[in-house]
Amino acid sequence: MDKLDLGWIGTGVMGRSMCFHLINAGHKVFIYNRTMEKAEDLVNEGAVWCETPAEVAKNSGIVFSIVGFPSDVEEVILGSQGVLSGTEADSIIVDMTTSEPKLAAKISNAAKEKNVRTLDAPVSGGDQGARDGTLAIMVGGDRAAYDRVLPLFKIMGENIAYLGEAGAGQHTKMSNQILIASTMIGVVESLLYAYYAGLNLNEVIDVIGKGAASSWSINNLGRRIVKGDFNPGFFIKHFIKDMGIALDEAKRMNLSLPGLAMAHQFYISATAMGYENLGTQGLYKVFQNMNTDALS
């Protein structure tokens, strides 16, 4: 595809690697991050630093954002110095943050007033998927914008799908997070059981990771647990945010999700224990502590 002038906002655990892929593909990228130091390596690779999201938008036909919380999304896109304030007609805004479906719709409606198209395109695959360019990307919003951005999505991910109108990408990501939440309970309980039974945990994963119990979580995060690696591929504090959004949406739909509610409470316990900045596999520490207390 033609080399484009692109915008990128958010250079955290995943955003940094995703942006690198676009730079390495030959695109000129204008970037903004709340903390400039976290974008220095991207600038060294050729990205152009901007002082505000609006400045990013003024230099870019397509602007991507991946930040922390819905409030951050609203600020960087709809704020007084946000992306929308600097965009021109026929531009595209792509928010890849896991955020609220209703906010995706709000952004879409505001953008239409300026003849700007939007996509909500949250991702799954963690830090490893971001580094490898193998993310799953779930997209809602303007179909013509999706077709235009798809070649760029393919630089960052492998499993890419258009799901429907604004908010559909976020709803799909909620389904993803609901599944992961309960799966992580199974992962940590399975490994704790194997540990207390005196088994070699890597050998256990070798077997159960290829059978009916196979999941991305056991094969990737399970290995990190065995190594004692609780660094964040995805922060616990952000996962709690995601589960909260899913529970709010479920309440709005008059839908009961007791499994999600239970997993949410376990992760709240992780925060109470000071683990909010660990990766989601840090749930293992919560269960480990519960069992240590029971034995003492």
Asked whether the beta carbons of 55 and 31 are under 8 A apart, the reply is: no
Cα gap 192→181, rounded to integer Å: 17
How far apart are the C-alpha atoms of 55 and 87, rounded to whole Å?
9
Q: Which of 38, 58, 114, 173 is catalytic?
A: 173
Structure-token match 């293992």, residue found = 284
CB atoms within 10 A of CB 251: 11
Amino acid (1-letter code) at residue 42: L
32 by DSSP, 3-state: which?
A: strand
Contacts of 207 (CB under 8 A, 6+ apart): none
- Is 173 a catalytic site residue? yes
Q: In DSSP terms, which residues pair with 162 in a beta bridge?
A: 139
CA-CA distance, 137 to 176, in Å (whole number)?
Answer: 11
Helix ranges restricted to H, the chain: 15-24, 40-44, 53-58, 70-78, 83-86, 101-112, 126-132, 143-156, 168-196, 201-208, 216, 222-227, 236-252, 258-272, 283-295
Residue 163's H or E segment, with its range, is strand 157-164
What is the C-alpha to C-alpha distance for residues 220 and 5, in angstroms, rounded to an integer? 35
Q: What is the Cα–Cα distance from 42 to 10, expressed in whole angstroms?
A: 11
β pairing state of 157-164 and 92-95: unpaired
Please give the positions annotated as active site: 173
